[in-house]
Amino acid sequence: AQLNPRTGALNGKHVLMTAGPTFEPLDPVRGITNRSSGKQGFAIAEALAVEGAKVTLISGPVSLPTPEGVERIDVRTALEMFDAAHAHLPADAFIGVAAVSDWRAQAVATDKQKKSANSDELTVTLIKNPDILASIGLHTTMRPTLVIGFAAETQNLEVYGKTKLRTKGADAIFANEVGDDKVFDQDTTNMMLIDAHGPTAVKRLTKAEVAQDITHYVINRLT
């Protein structure tokens, strides 16, 4: 990653983040997950640490090294990510970059499910996971000064991004286009920032550039 020289602009600031996918087990050998390499969240964590922030990075299962100076907490499920995030409040800023699974199995089988025990169809009931970003953006006693979310959209970036800003109590949403191979395993993404000032134009940025933009945004808003 291309990083600016250390300025210490975020010395003494605690930034809490989520990154990567979550994994929701169905049985001991299977589960459902979301596509996310974790690269974007880890790049942001690194850029913030370079500026002197104390960064707590709650990460789902990814195969990435921990950026220097970052405290990393590994979790697997959305419920574990939720608990770990709340356990690490208070923070000056929260940034939700994780691709959290919206659903988990209502019942997790304790044994491997045999195909012979099932007919040609298998029905699994999924229930909704809690929204980690909203729980922090709307926190009544420990809301960080700055709460930032991402929005992964295949269409209507601005409309859906604005709705997420409002319903999750966030100060800013970085909305990016996903689908086909627009983001996953790619180095660039089409991104729009939405905050109280409205939306910016869509820019095509590398993950390193997004990390720099967000770091500058955090510095402007916290200092």
Which residues would be at the binding site for ligand CTP (CB under 6 A)?
18, 78, 96, 98, 100, 102, 129, 131-133, 149-152, 164
Q: Is 146 annotated as a binding residue?
A: no
What residue ranges bind Ca ion (CB under 5 A)? 102
Q: Residue 54 and residue 61: Cα distance in Å, rounded?
A: 22
Judged by beta carbon distances under 5 to 8 A according to partner kind, the member of Ca ion, ligand CTP, none in contact with residue 78 is ligand CTP
Nearer to ligand CTP, 9 or 175 (CB): 175
Rounded CA gap, 206 and 71, in Å?
Answer: 24
172 binds, among ligand CTP, Ca ion, none (CB under 5 to 8 A by kind): none
Q: Which of ligand CTP, Ca ion, none lies near 24, with the C-beta cut-off 5 to 8 A by kind?
A: none
3-state secondary structure of 207: helix
Helix, strand, coil % over all residues of the chain, rounded to 5: 25, 30, 45
Nearest distance in Å: CB 93, Ca ion: 21
* H or E segment to which residue 205 belongs: strand 203-206
Q: Hey, which residues are catalytic here? A: 34
Q: How far is the CB of 103 from ligand CTP (least distance, A)?
A: 9
If the CB atoms of residues 23 and 209 are measured against Ca ion, the closer one turns out to be: 23
- Please state whether the peptide bond connecting residue 90 to the residue before it is cis, i.e. omega within 30 degrees of 0: yes
Which of 20, 67 has the CB closer to ligand CTP? 20
Under 8 Å between Cβ of 44 and 70: no
2, 17, 117 from 189: Cα distances, Å: 17, 20, 44
**Residues contributing to the annotated binding site:** 102, 112, 130-133, 150, 164, 168
